Amino acid sequence: MPQTISEKILAAHAGKKAVRPGEFIEPKVDLALGNDVTAPLAIKEFRQVGAKKVFDRKKVALVMDHFTPNKDINSAEQVKFVREFAHGQKIVNYFEGSNVGVEHALLPEKGLVLPGDLVIGADSHTCTYGALGAFATGVGSTDLAAAMITGRLWIKVPATIKFVYKGKLQKWVGGKDLILYTIGRIGVDGALYQSMEFTGPVIEKLPMPDRFTMANMAIEAGGKNGIIAPDKITSDYVSKRAARKYKFYSSDIGAEYADVIEIDCSKITPQVSLPFLPSNAKAVTDLGSIAIDQVVIGSCTNGRIEDLRLAARLLKGKKANPRVRLLIIPATPLIYTQMVKEGLIDIFLAAGAIVSPPTCGPCLGGHMGILAAGERCVATTNRNFVGRMGHVKSEVYLASPAVAAASAVKGRIAHPEELK
């Protein structure tokens, strides 16, 4: 029976030859992830049912990234609670302090998520790892607790929508623009509880950072997961990082899809998602003059070294507009180190930027860049809901690092070509 890549991975982890959409299964997980916001709830459930040990101390990852460095007493107490659990359970992959990074950039970088894996995380953007050809999905804290105890996940097999990206990418268009355009086309519930399989000649040439960006935002269309079949680009990325074996899966010819959507990428220009939904995507050139107060370049969506290089290229020799706070947030310590070695930090500081340690920070309205009433921010993050980055009367506009950098200089939402 022909299977999609998602169905194959789920079947393999459930010990079945095949699975069908709508079927309930209980597959084994390769990694269960929690952070400083969601792990405390999971740990409380873990203890409430009387569990004594995690199923595998190497297959649980706890990343203290959302409010790091601790922003207040409550966040410090949460981290302490998780830290003591991690130490008591001898969790191998516990990250805090100088080794912490934004979880969905950190774990692939460390080789902890690999092609063919089944990964769950008590964070909705766990779907990022689908860029590697893994089945990765966000779960609630109680599901995380159950997985930490049993090593299994109870799940309904999702149907799959196949997205076929054709044509030639225009200048300045990358993974962020593709996914914003896609969400704009199908809506925030257009792939509700379905696997979003990204395919086509454009995807086959797309660099790994752009793939991570696309898979990261599958949840913004309601997707259960986003996934890209692994290939040489994937192999080049994981071969130097993987500490264990992995397997490449791909969809069979004749596999059944709930829908097939073709997208002509040659018609896509740099995109911006206006408040208050990621689906409110428009071309930058279709916008009027929208003044801004802040720019954030970072997050699990666009905080990788390639994103920072692109922003630095546009900002070199220029200054951020005096009325704009420009925040640069590298996603991991390694990326921070690369930024320093390559001189990118000098470019950012000369442009008037504030450089932060790796953190989720402002993405969820945590800290390091909260907005006041009436303020507008262009961000390379993944959500722009009401109050997402601060006051309920503030606004967040989602964009690529190129658009964000250009906007920082112009003091309004701007196309990268305006800096030439």
Give the pLDDT confidence score for residue 68 in this predicted structure: 81
- The residue-averaged pLDDT of 146-172 equals 97
Give the pLDDT confidence score for residue 1 in this predicted structure: 86
Q: What does the alpha-carbon distance between residue 10 and residue 129 come to, in Å, rounded to a whole number?
A: 15
| Number of residues that make up the chain | 420
Characterize 294-308 residue by residue with b for buried, 16 or more Cβ atoms within 10 angstroms of its Cβ, and e for exposed: bbbbbbbbbbbbbbb
DSSP track, 95-147: E-GGG---HHHHHHHTT-S-TT-EEEESSGGGGGGGGGT-EEEE--HHHHHHH
Residue 54's alpha-carbon distances to 100, 141, 247, 304, in angstroms, are 22, 15, 25, 31
For the chain, the C-alpha Rg in angstroms (whole number) is 20
CA count, 13 A, side-chain hemisphere, 335: 31
Q: What does the alpha-carbon distance between residue 299 and residue 220 come to, in Å, rounded to a whole number?
A: 15
Instruction: Answer whether 0.85 is exceeded by the pTM.
Output: yes
CA 210: distance to chain centroid? 11
Give the contacts of 69 (CB within 8 A, at least 6 positions apart): 357, 359
Give the pLDDT confidence score for residue 69 in this predicted structure: 86
Local structure of 353: helix, strand or coil: coil
Q: What does the alpha-carbon distance between residue 130 and residue 126 come to, in Å, rounded to a whole number?
A: 9
Question: Tokens in use for 218?
Answer: 């599958």
Q: What does the alpha-carbon distance between residue 359 and residue 415 come to, in Å, rounded to a whole number?
A: 27
Chain segment 355-367, per-residue pLDDT in tens: 999 999 999 888 9
Residue 390: DSSP 8-state: B
Dihedral of the alpha carbons of 194, 197, 202, 208, in degrees to the nearest 10: 110
CB atoms within 10 A of CB 207: 14
Question: Tokens in use for 73?
Answer: 């007493």
Residue 420 in this model has a pLDDT that exceeds 90: no
Chain segment 88-99, per-residue pLDDT in tens: 999 999 999 999
Structural domains of the chain in order of their starting residue, each with its CATH number: 5-263 (3.30.499.10), 271-415 (3.30.499.10)
Question: Tokens in use for 407?
Answer: 């906007």
- From the list 198, 172, 398, the residue with the least C-alpha distance to 292 is 398
Is the distance from CB of 375 to CB of 295 less than 8 angstroms?
Answer: no
Residue 179 in this model has a pLDDT that exceeds 90: yes
Chain segment 61-73, per-residue pLDDT in tens: 999 999 988 899 9
Bridge partners, residue 395, by sequence: 376
Is the distance from CB of 208 to CB of 334 less than 8 angstroms?
Answer: no
Give the pLDDT confidence score for residue 243 in this predicted structure: 86
Chain segment 232-268, per-residue pLDDT in tens: 999 999 999 998 999 999 999 999 999 999 999 999 9
Give the pLDDT confidence score for residue 141 in this predicted structure: 95
Instruction: Give the confidence band of 17 by pLDDT, cuts at 50, 70, 90.
Output: very high
Give the contacts of 291 (CB within 8 A, at least 6 positions apart): 323, 376, 411, 412
